[in-house]
Amino acid sequence: MTAAGRTLLGIALAVTLLMRSSPAAAGPTDTPLPTFADGKPAVAVYDAYGVIKNNNLETDFICTNIDSVAVDIGVEVFDETGALRNSPAANDTERFSAKGE
């Protein structure tokens, strides 16, 4: 096989591999919403990217409920690789019950 033939074969192989690839699935956009420990389904309200807890620097979530019915608020935390680090379903997350007055 000539050098030009090997080059074309390499290009064809690279194009074939690139066409068969798919995007990686990880993080908040690809993770299904949990169900709380009391059986209530979660509803996505807000995605906060860049949450930090390092060297006395932390991210706070401040929520307001103006309804007369209590709502459960859960926060899921993902690490830099997109892996889920807690679960509202397992009750190992910061979970609040807020009721407006």
Residue-level pLDDT at 92: 58
Residue-level pLDDT at 32: 85
**Residue-range definition of the domain harbouring residue 38:** 26-101
Number of domains forming the structure of the chain: 1
pLDDT band, residue 93 (cuts 50/70/90):
low
Q: 12 in a domain, yes or no?
A: no
C-alpha dihedral sign at 65, 71, 77, 78? negative
pLDDT digits (tens, 9 = 90+) for 15-51: 787 777 666 666 777 788 888 777 888 888 888 877 7
Q: 46 in a domain, yes or no?
A: yes
Q: 59 in a domain, yes or no?
A: yes
